[in-house]
């Protein structure tokens, strides 16, 4: 007698095998084995002629979905069928959420088992949990399957009905989505707010006071009993004080006059207030809060967070990572409280076990919050994890343990001081008992350091005291526009609005970036001009589909279908084929949408039109000579496009580039230009004999107006040959790349060794000795202060003799040889990884032409100038849109070099 258990992934299968008797065979379905067709090739011949076939849903026959087995899953299905032949029982053990329930149902439809069937669910992969789940199997929940199927059909109807309309009216390859389009609109609305924002300026005074050899800060808050204006008093749309506010707005002259008047005058404490504050710990993580905190603390994107969490779950380290619930089981509460007792002492335990409940009505994804697995919690150090796996587990462990700790007790202190008629305020904070903050502080990796940072100690003061003024200065401020969304803040907004499900946010954000609707720069999601065009079209013609309230109500209906409160078929019929249904709307609106208007983005204060073309966004303006078109640099965001930049780009097209002067040696003219990939300098004119003049990008942060002739001449010498390396005889150069200035030790086939050039060193002046000194230092891991220390040393490569090592990369462990990087698969552990296995992975990667590290980066390290040449050449050859899209993806986008100096920021 044997039992076949089917799970989704090989890692999960391997972990579960350890907890089941030998008569159980565990196999992986590798996710979904059946889905709606993703391309015309997958549509069966029998229905290819049907009007609805491309949609994959027969809208004329009760929305019957057309399910197909993709090519890459046919082998897996055959293997599962073969395994089932020898089984006397089938257990479907896919994840416990809607997606997992759906996968089990599809497996049942395909395998058609003639043996007894059970549905096994668990939220952690431990021996206890698996053995317990075996004794509590159930049937497949058809209502949950129905809800998931409805969601899938709904997403297909929206995407496959609206996307072709966007191809016709705006640009090929665009997509619309039920949740995706709402998320894009949120980004666009914030960018519109930034465009509408008007900056306000104000001044105040800052003092450094001292009492009993303890210094503390004081800030001006009143003059003559009238409140002094600060950033919160300004109207973002006008840059002026909000109407009706009775405040004193100081300019620089008035602030300095006040400073002179009260300088050297006596200070007196007029009031002192102490206010006790109690802080409670946050509940354990849900999918959404884990994504948010991993983004803030670890700088991980939502997709990467979920990938790592999935791996931790499948290896038995944490509970199921797709959940809306903050609930902890009794077992978990006991385990967390035991950790607190052992590590921090009984005084740090909350007096009673804390029990958290989920407020959201739609919370249904799992039974528990995300927590360490098991009846006892392994500390991060006990897990044997390393790298980013360790850091994410550490985050989950700390948050769970902290949830059972005592409240933090603090005292907030406010001191008011007076000098002449000017009132100043000092704020302090004293931590009387850290409580849960000993283990976990939101946004901080080091709780102890965070506690020190949070405390602001004021000296012992009382009313009537006269502190000394050690320093007094006038400080200018400028109000700042609304901050762009980060992945964390977008996830928080989507969840608060009830749009989509947290388990889908990672893929939604990934799609937004992949489809060119947003760029992720410095952790901010910046919408593109294409996003503006698509959002405007949908707002104008299909307002419900980008309305957060409408989308939220759709989620509620899907939840009601899962509980049996609503029927799926009437809902789909009303949504799609009713009088106001989507299909009807698209037919009515398509003829009313002017493609030229749809491709045009209207921005206030910009006289020229912003249009969406095959090669990206461009400006279009009428002049005496006719219609003028000019490409908009890819790093120029919609919020930052101003009339001056528009004028420069158009002038560059009509009057030619701005000439800096003549090259002192060749006599050729040197120009400053702005291309699709940023500002650059060019030597000479484009002609039949000189089709590719030498060009050089400006260093990041360099404004084109600050470029001098001498600087341009120096830039055009790049790459600079500094000399030869004394040990290898190979050349050492300095140059500019996509990550900024660098020096490189070029040993040809042996490889290249790079080091970034940081201030005060300069790419234009650095000498060989300094470059050699930098090259002698250990290479830093990108995005980290750590050196690239191997996770495991495997030995020497049999051909080259170079050491082969396993390193920790952003996307997990990988092995490196020369220019080739090969990632370890999810189910391969670093501990058991061998030299032979490394050679196999590297050989496979090389055979596939995959030089994923240095060489691929070299190919993308195209300067703005070279990229501009490539763009012109591509445009001249009229390359197809598809090829252009591919080329654009391969080209590195430069950051805008038009940053202006700003005064101190005020939140």
Report the catalytic residues. 320
Burial 831-856 (b: 16+ CB within 10 A, else e): eebeeebbbebbeebeeeeebbbbbe
Residue 520: partners with Cβ closer than 8 Å, 6 or more residues away: 301, 487, 513, 526
- Between β-strands 24-28 and 3-7, what pairing exists: parallel, antiparallel or unpaired? parallel
CA angle 808, 774, 899 (to 5 degrees): 85
CA angle 99, 104, 105 (to 5 degrees): 95
- 3-class DSSP state of 49: coil
**Cα dist from 722 to 251, 719, 731, 746, whole Å:** 51, 9, 8, 12
HEC string of 831-866 equals CCCCHHHHHHHHHHHHHCCCCCCHHHHHHHCCCHHH
Name the burial class of residue 399, with classes exposed (0-12), middle (13-18) and buried (19+) by CB atoms within 10 angstroms of its CB: buried
Rounded CA-CA distance 885/172 in Å is: 10
| Sheet order of strands, 117-119 included | 24-28, 3-7, 89-92, 117-119
Rounded CA-CA distance 451/453 in Å is: 5
Do 569 and 515 touch, CB atoms closer than 8 A? Answer: no
Alpha helices in 744-798 (DSSP H): 768-775
Rounded CA-CA distance 579/573 in Å is: 10
The distance from CA 286 to its chain's CA centroid, rounded to whole angstroms, is 18
Do 552 and 633 touch, CB atoms closer than 8 A? Answer: no
- Between β-strands 600-601 and 609-613, what pairing exists: parallel, antiparallel or unpaired? antiparallel
The distance from CA 891 to its chain's CA centroid, rounded to whole angstroms, is 20
Residue 596: partners with Cβ closer than 8 Å, 6 or more residues away: none
- 3-class DSSP state of 889: helix
Beta bridge partners of 285: 370
């Amino acid at each position: 007698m044997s039992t076949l258990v089917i799970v989704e992934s090989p890692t999960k299968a391997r972990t579960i095998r350890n907890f089941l008797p030998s008569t159980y065979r565990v196999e992986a379905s590798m996710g979904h084995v059946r889905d709606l067709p993703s391309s015309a090739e997958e549509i069966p011949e029998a229905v290819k002629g049907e009007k609805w076939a491309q949609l994959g849903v027969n809208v004329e026959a009760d929305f019957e979905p057309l399910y197909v087995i993709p090519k890459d899953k046919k082998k897996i299905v055959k293997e599962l069928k073969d395994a089932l032949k020898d089984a006397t029982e089938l257990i479907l053990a896919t994840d416990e959420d809607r997606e997992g329930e759906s996968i089990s149902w599809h497996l049942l439809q395909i395998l058609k088992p003639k043996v007894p069937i059970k549905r096994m669910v668990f939220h952690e992969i431990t021996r206890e949990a698996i053995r317990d789940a075996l004794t509590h199997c159930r049937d497949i929940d058809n209502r949950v399957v129905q809800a998931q199927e409805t969601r899938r059909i709904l997403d297909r109807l929206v995407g496959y009905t609206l996307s072709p309309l966007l191809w016709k009216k705006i640009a090929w390859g665009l997509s619309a989505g039920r949740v995706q389009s709402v998320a894009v609109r949120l980004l666009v609305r914030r960018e519109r707010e930034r465009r509408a924002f008007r900056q306000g300026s104000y001044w105040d005074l800052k003092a450094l006071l001292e009492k009993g050899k303890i210094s503390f800060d004081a800030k001006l808050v009143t003059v003559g009993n009238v409140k002094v204006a600060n950033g919160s008093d300004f109207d973002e749309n006008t840059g002026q004080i909000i109407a009706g506010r009775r405040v004193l707005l100081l300019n620089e002259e008035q602030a300095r006059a006040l400073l002179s008047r009260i300088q050297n005058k006596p200070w007196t404490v007029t009031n002192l207030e102490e206010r006790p504050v109690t802080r409670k710990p946050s509940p354990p993580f849900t999918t959404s809060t884990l994504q948010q905190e991993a983004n803030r603390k670890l700088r991980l994107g939502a997709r990467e967070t979920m990938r790592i969490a999935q791996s931790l779950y499948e290896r038995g380290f944490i509970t199921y990572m797709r959940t809306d619930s903050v609930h902890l089981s009794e077992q978990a509460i006991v385990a967390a409280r035991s950790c607190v007792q052992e590590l921090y002492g009984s005084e740090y335990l909350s007096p009673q076990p804390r029990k958290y409940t989920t407020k959201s009505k739609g919370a249904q994804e799992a039974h528990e919050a995300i927590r360490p697995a098991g009846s006892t919690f392994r500390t991060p150090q006990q897990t044997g994890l390393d790298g980013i796996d360790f850091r994410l587990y550490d985050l989950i462990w700390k948050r769970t343990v902290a949830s059972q700790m005592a409240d933090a007790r603090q005292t907030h202190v406010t001191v008011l001081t007076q000098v002449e008629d000017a009132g100043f305020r000092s704020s302090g904070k004293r931590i009387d008992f850290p409580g849960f903050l000993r283990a976990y502080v939101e946004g901080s990796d080091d709780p102890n350091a965070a506690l020190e940072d949070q405390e602001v100690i004021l000296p012992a003061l009382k009313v009537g005291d006269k502190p000394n003024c050690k320093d007094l200065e006038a400080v200018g401020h400028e109000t700042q526009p609304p901050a762009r969304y980060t992945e964390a803040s977008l996830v928080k907004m989507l969840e608060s609005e009830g749009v989509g499900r947290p388990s889908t946010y990672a893929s939604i954000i990934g799609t937004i970036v992949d489809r060119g609707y947003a760029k992720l720069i410095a952790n901010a999601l910046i919408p593109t001009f294409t996003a503006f065009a698509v959002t405007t079209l949908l707002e104008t013609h299909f307002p419900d589909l980008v309305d957060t309230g409408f989308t939220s109500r759709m989620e509620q209906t899907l939840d009601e279908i899962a509980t049996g409160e609503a029927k799926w078929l009437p809902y789909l019929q009303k949504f799609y084929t009713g009088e106001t249904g989507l299909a009807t709307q698209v037919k009515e609106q398509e003829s009313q949408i002017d493609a030229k208007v749809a491709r045009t983005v209207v921005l206030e204060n910009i006289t020229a039109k912003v249009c969406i073309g095959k090669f990206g966004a461009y400006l279009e303006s009428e002049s005496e000579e006719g219609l003028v078109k000019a490409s908009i640099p890819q790093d120029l965001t919609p919020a930052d496009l101003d009339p001056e930049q528009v004028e420069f780009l158009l002038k560059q097209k009509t009057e030619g580039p701005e000439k800096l002067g003549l090259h002192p040696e060749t006599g050729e003219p040197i120009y400053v230009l702005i291309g699709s990939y940023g500002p650059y300098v060019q030597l000479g004119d484009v002609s039949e004999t000189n089709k590719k003049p030498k060009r050089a990008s400006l260093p990041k942060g360099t404004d084109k107006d600050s470029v001098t002739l001498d600087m341009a001449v120096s830039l055009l010498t790049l790459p600079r040959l500094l000399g030869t390396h004394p040990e290898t005889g190979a050349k050492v150069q300095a140059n500019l790349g996509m990550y900024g200035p660098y020096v490189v030790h070029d040993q040809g086939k042996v490889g290249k060794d790079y080091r970034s050039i940081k201030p005060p060193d300069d790419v234009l002046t650095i000498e060989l000795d300094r470059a050699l000194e930098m090259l002698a230092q250990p290479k830093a891991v990108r995005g980290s202060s750590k050196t690239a220390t191997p996770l495991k040393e495997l030995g020497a490569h049999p051909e080259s003799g170079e050491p082969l090592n396993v390193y920790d990369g952003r996307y997990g462990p990988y092995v490196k040889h020369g220019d080739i990087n090969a990632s370890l698969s999810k189910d391969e552990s670093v501990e058991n990884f061998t030299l032979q296995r490394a050679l196999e992975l590297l050989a496979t990667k090389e055979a596939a032409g995959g030089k994923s590290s240095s060489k691929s980066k070299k190919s993308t390290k195209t300067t703005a100038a070279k990229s501009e040449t490539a763009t012109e050449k591509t445009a001249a050859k009229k390359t197809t849109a598809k090829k252009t899209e591919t080329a654009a993806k391969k080209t590195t986008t430069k950051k805008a070099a038009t940053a202006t100096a700003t005064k101190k920021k005020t939140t």
